[in-house]
Amino acid sequence: MKFKSGKWLLHESVRAAYATQAVDVRCTEDQISLAALTQPLRHRGSVLNTPTITVDLSSPAPEVVRVRATHHSGVLDPGPHFEVHQAPGEARVTQSANAVALATGQLTARISLQDRFELSWTAEGRELTHLGPEDLGYMEVGDDGPFMMARLALGVGASVYGLGERFTALVKNGQVVDSWNEDGGVGSEQSYKAVPFYWSTDGYGVFVNTPALVSFEVASEVTNAVQFAVRGQTLEFMVIYGPTPAQIIERYTQLTGRPALPPAWSFGLWLSTSFTTGYTAATVRDFVETMAHHDIPLSVLHFDSYWMKALCWCDFEWDQQAFPDPAGLLGWLRERGIHPSVWINPYIGQRSPLFAQAAAAGYLARRPDGSVWQWDLWVAGMGLVDFTNPGARAWFADKIKALVATGIDAVKTDFGERIPLDVAWFDGSDPERMHNYYSFLYNQSVFEALRSVRGEGEAVVFARSGTAGSQQFPVHWGGDCDASYVSMAESLRAGLSLGLSGFAFWSHDIGGFEGTPSPELFQRWAAFGLLSSHSRLHGSTSYRVPWEFGPDSVRVVRFFARLKNRLMPYMWRVGVEAHQRGLPVLRATVLEFPDDPTARHLESQYLLGPDLLVAPIFRPNGAGEAYLPAGLWTEFFTGERLAGPAWWRGQCRPDRIPLFVREGASIVQGSREDRPDYDYAEGFTVEVFALPDGADASAQIWGTDGTLALTVHLHRTGRRVSARLDGRIPHQWSLRWVAGPLGPARGPVVTAASDSCSALFLDIPDGE
């Protein structure tokens, strides 16, 4: 929302009351409260007949300062509120004649007590950001109601990231972003997952602590600042010190919640029936048998919307005409090691037998006049489950638990964005705040129901909507993309933006949802999709089985599905790190290389974990490019060495993707490629890439239960690499030095293998 017309003037309908001077300072050992006058204090009467903003500072966690600015404090606060996990550190308040300050760790927030209101944040001897006399205010905007606004300065050259899943440019500078969930598809400024959190390359992040609509002006209304505004009388935000992007995201997810660790089987290939296709039990059996015939490992079979009868969504009952024996079909899938998944949404159509039941019990959202809220946009006469009602949550959860009891392992939680404002929620929640927060309650309810039956570490959803904190309930996918190269690139941008907003596990519809991809596009998207944290073949009106796109597509999907399964020891380690630290599996290049100016704007490539750089092909005819930051990079498939910083450009055949390994990386490949869930600590190979002379490296191997099985410690001395195991000793393992060039087929330069021993030594060939 723009309040100003240019630099000097306000828009005609706007009246502003800015924090101008701090008075009446009250401190405890770890908190500050003061009154900010909105006119200068010239005499005793200056405090009369003028709005005053109460500013409170505290520290909910180390390296985090919370600011709460309030105009009128007596306004009712019906909620909802984000769940903030507080871990208070040793906040320290100091006061002098000129200033009052609150410090936590390296971060200090300082408020001037002179004749100009100024609030600045510093760390390790430098200023991170500040706001001045016209940067914190109470704003009246015509008939649109009151707003609270803050404006934080940006340093020269600072780039801004985050704000949830955004299909626009990865760097948010110059954008106007409203944190408001919408079912807008891929390719617009709307978002399925709005998150009021951003971070700057100046070394700090900002979390605006409200699920209500937050309007961000990112170097747009004022080109040297980020402005954010919320409707109402109170604005609360937290400044989070890094200084690195990874540390900012770690601290943000400490506040809003770290993701659960999805089950290892969920990392394998998901095959969907697709949406409106005419699938039946016979179709499903044919898909599974043909995938096996083509030797393509399949982990999850997903039944999309029409597993239920049309007009009856959601009644949680199988369409008996298409699926006369669901128990037999689910058992048949499980006998083949395939995990069944089903689609749901939080809407109950009027023809569903559950509609009358839920309406009578008060489980559906109601309009202010007491009638059930209904409309026809989606399922005819649909109502909306009121997750603010504990009874409704328990009722809905029981439906999920009953599904799990029949053999369902995963649930696709679709929708949750079209949440109306003309609703009187059961618990009295503010409708504007519930619009985004509904996605949190919906996915939390389903996830916890799954976990209560399947157990810790076995729950997984496939969610489209979300907001701050929703990252606790993985996995999330990128919504309704088109079958085009442009839409594939948009999907990646959004996934990287979501990862920089605290979401760790992410997927997308391989081949695009709308339309039907060309065989070449399908193959390129398959390579990208199977080098993502989670991988799903899904479409709208046409199937996404690879043989629909020709024999080359079958070979490509088989190759990358089996490659991903071999890479699962590495992928699983990255997943454990995501669970423990909140870092995304797919990482924008800037996250790993924040000091590289070129890395800041890269949105067509990513790092899969810390060590694998992936550059999907977004153009026909196999033309690709990748930026390699400083260091020595090894092309994964050929072993070719390239020195960065440099751009790689070249042609890529359909069963390859530009994939580069970071200098000194040790990538663990597993012993199986037919499934993603197996014993990673048995029969593995540690591949060492360009470890410098005299350097140490290590590789952790985690069990599928989330516990550390062993660590491989590596050291290079001259032309010898030694490897020592710490932990469980496998019956067989090997060590491999990878270099090249080795030609079109990848292979090792030298390998050392051993049975039941805790150490290996490998001699590096001459020239290495």
- Positions marked catalytic: 414, 417, 480
Contact status, residue 173 vs residue 52, Cβ threshold 8 Å: no
Contact status, residue 109 vs residue 130, Cβ threshold 8 Å: no
**Which helix H or strand E contains 163, and what residues bound it?**
strand 160-164
Contact status, residue 617 vs residue 624, Cβ threshold 8 Å: yes
**Which helix H or strand E contains 161, and what residues bound it?**
strand 160-164
Residue with tokens 């043989």: 547
Residue with tokens 């309009």: 367
Cα separation, 568 vs 274, in Å, equals 26
Cα separation, 237 vs 248, in Å, equals 15
Instruction: Identify whether 569 is preceded by a cis peptide bond (ω within 30 of 0).
Output: no
Whole-number Cα distances in Å, 330 to 301, 319, 446, 609: 10, 14, 20, 34
Sign (positive or negative) of CA dihedral 171, 174, 175, 176: positive
Residue 463, token pair as written in the block: 């969610």
Instruction: Identify whether 475 is preceded by a cis peptide bond (ω within 30 of 0).
Output: yes
Bridge partners of 711, per DSSP, are 700, 726
Residue 380, token pair as written in the block: 């005819």
Contact status, residue 387 vs residue 441, Cβ threshold 8 Å: yes
Collapsed DSSP state (helix, strand, coil) of residue 213: coil
Collapsed DSSP state (helix, strand, coil) of residue 283: helix
Whole-number Cα distances in Å, 21 to 7, 26, 38, 131, 338: 21, 15, 7, 13, 65
Torsion of CA 749, 752, 753, 754, to 10 degrees: 180
Secondary structure of 714-746 in HEC code, one letter for each residue = EEEECCEEEEEEEECCCCEEEEEEECCCCCCCC
Neighbour tally for 48: CB within 10 Å:
6
- Looking only at the bridges linking them, the beta strands covering 347-348 and 383-384 are antiparallel
Cα separation, 643 vs 663, in Å, equals 10
Contacts of 545 (CB under 8 A, 6+ apart): 271, 287, 290, 291, 537
- DSSP assignment, residue 691? P
Angle at alpha carbon of residue 63, lines to 61 and 66, rounded to 5°: 60
Cα separation, 308 vs 737, in Å, equals 53
Angle at alpha carbon of residue 680, lines to 753 and 686, rounded to 5°: 40
